Amino acid sequence: MLTKADDIIAGPDLTAEQRDRLTLIWRRCCEALQGVVTDLKITQDELKFAGGFFNRVGQAEVFPSLLAVGLAMTSMRATEGNGGTPGNLEGPYHIADAPVRTDGNLLDKEPGPDARYLELSGVVRDTTGQPVGNVELDFWNADEHGIYDHAGWHLRGRVFTDEAGRYRVRGIVPKDYSEHDTDPIGELFHAMERHNRRAAHIHLKVRKSGYVPLTTQLYMPDGAYLDSDYVEGAVIPDLVVKFDKPGADARTITARFDLKIAPAGGRAP
């Protein structure tokens, strides 16, 4: 019979292939970090300080966020490239089963006087350039104050492309916002004299049977943090929306963003 310590060492019931991969990942991480320790001559005191910090990150339940900040975009680009629009983080604020907005209007209430309306349109195509109809696009974003609606559906909703792959939604230009103000990740940024703001963005999920699902973020071209978003590698030129021109009034901006989705299995369905 295994002792309690033996149970911990035995860990989860992994297949041989999973255990080999876990061992490989562990060794490669150790080798990489040992190189950092050697190059920077990291002291025992610094290692103990780091251990205490990671303990507090775990207690605050933000360790997944810390990994995402530094490594998620690298992981996505190493494993998910398929010729479609680049993916991006889902983030913590998606709510499933948002209402279908047949008119494309994502506004459930009138925004404040400082808000700018955004009329966003585009075409969804496959990787050969052909338009794809009846594609579901699930949008959500923060408001003009950088706040998400967690109780209702303001600035959340799903639309479907027409037979020519076209979509259109009406919302507002979101504002950048800060995260981790009161947790250890924020403490780390403060110690490095870095801000903890996300560049203003719109979240989007794209789904259609027979195609690889896409989750991404569309960035506002006039945002103040495009070059310094705290998520490493999140903002790339391919995900920046193109503002076109003012709409019917000075508060309305028209913009375009075309999307590309990849067939599942690398072949058209």
Domain count, the chain: 2
Residue 231 lies in a domain: yes
Write down which residue in 61, 79, 97 finishes a domain: 79
Looking at the structure, tell me whether residues 123 and 222 fall in a common domain. Answer: yes
Angle value at C-alpha 240, between 63 and 64, nearest 5 degrees? 5
Is residue 176 within 8 Å of residue 146, measured between CB atoms?
Answer: yes
Looking at the structure, tell me whether residues 154 and 218 fall in a common domain. Answer: yes
Element (H, E) at 123: strand 117-126
Q: Model pTM greater than 0.85?
A: yes
CA torsion through residues 82, 131, 100, 239, sign: positive
Is residue 141 within 8 Å of residue 171, measured between CB atoms?
Answer: yes
Report which of 180, 160, 178 is spatially closest to residue 169, judged by C-alpha positions.
Answer: 160
Q: pLDDT tens string for the chain (269 positions)?
A: 344 444 445 566 889 999 999 999 999 999 999 999 999 999 999 999 999 999 999 999 999 999 999 999 999 998 887 889 999 999 999 999 999 999 999 999 999 998 999 999 999 999 999 999 999 999 999 999 999 999 999 999 999 999 999 999 999 999 999 989 999 999 999 999 999 999 999 999 999 999 999 999 999 999 999 999 999 999 999 999 999 866 567 789 999 999 999 999 765 55
Report which of 141, 169, 137 is spatially closest to residue 154, judged by C-alpha positions.
Answer: 141
Q: For 257, how many CA atoms within 13 A lie in the half-sphere containing its CB? A: 24
Residues 6+ positions from 81 with CB-CB distance below 8 Å: none
Write down which residue in 51, 79, 107 finishes a domain: 79
Report which of 121, 215, 226, 210 is spatially closest to residue 176, judged by C-alpha positions.
Answer: 226
Is residue 121 within 8 Å of residue 168, measured between CB atoms?
Answer: yes
